[in-house]
Chain A
C-alpha cells in the first residue's frame, strides 16, 4: 500500500496521560500536514512540515502538543497531559512538491478518546 498510513487507528486514554501518534506519508511527498476533526465539524489545521522543517503551526496547537518529522519522512504528534477536549480524529495528509496548488492525500486518521 503506497498511501498515507497512520498508527494507531484508535486510542483510548485516561485524562492526564500522554499519547503519541505516527504518520507515514507517501514516500516521495515532502509536505506533511496534521489536522484535527471533532464530531460534526470539518477538519482544522494543526501544523505543517516541509521536509523536516515545521513551517506553520495553528493557534490550536497548545503547549501540550508537539509534532516532529526528524528525517523528513514519518512524523509524530504527541499530546501531553491529555484532556477530554482533545478527543477527536487526528488526520495526517501529505502532498508532493510540484505545482502551485497541492492536492493533499489523507491517511485514515487516529481516533482519540480521552476518558
Chain B
C-alpha cells in the first residue's frame, strides 16, 4: 500500500499569507491528486498531476517524481480558502489512496 503523508496536519494563517501544504508518498504513482473538503463533507478535485506544475487561479500544485513529493500552494489566502486539503495518489489500480488531510483556517 502506498503510504501518503501530509504536513502540517493543522494550519492557521492570516488573510493574505502564502500557504504551503506538503505531501509525500512511498512508492511510484500514476497520478497525484489534490482535493478540497469543506465542512459537511463535499470533496472537490483541485488538481490531478503526474509531473511538473499546474496553476489554477491562486492555487499552484507541484510534484517532484524523483523525491516522491508534492506541494500545494495558496497565494494571497482568503478566509473562504478555509477547508481540509487532501492529497491522494493513484497507483496501477484505479482507487485513490488518501492522506489524512491538512485542516486550514484563514483568519481575516
Which A residues fall within an 8 A CB radius of B?
31, 33, 35, 37, 40-45, 48, 50, 55-56, 58, 89, 91, 93, 95, 100-106, 108-109, 111
* Closest A residue, CB atoms, query B35: A106
Q: How far is the CB of A99 from chain B (nearest CB, A)?
A: 9
- CB atoms of B94 and A48 under 8 A apart: yes
Select one of A31, A42, A48, A55 contacting B86, CB under 8 A.
A42
How many angstroms from the CA of A89 to the CA of B40 in the assembled complex? Answer: 10
- CB atoms of B95 and A42 under 8 A apart: no
- CB atoms of B41 and A40 under 8 A apart: no
The answer to whether A89 and B41 touch (CB under 8 A), given A41-B100, A101-B30, is yes
The answer to whether A33 and B41 touch (CB under 8 A), given A101-B30, A101-B48, is no
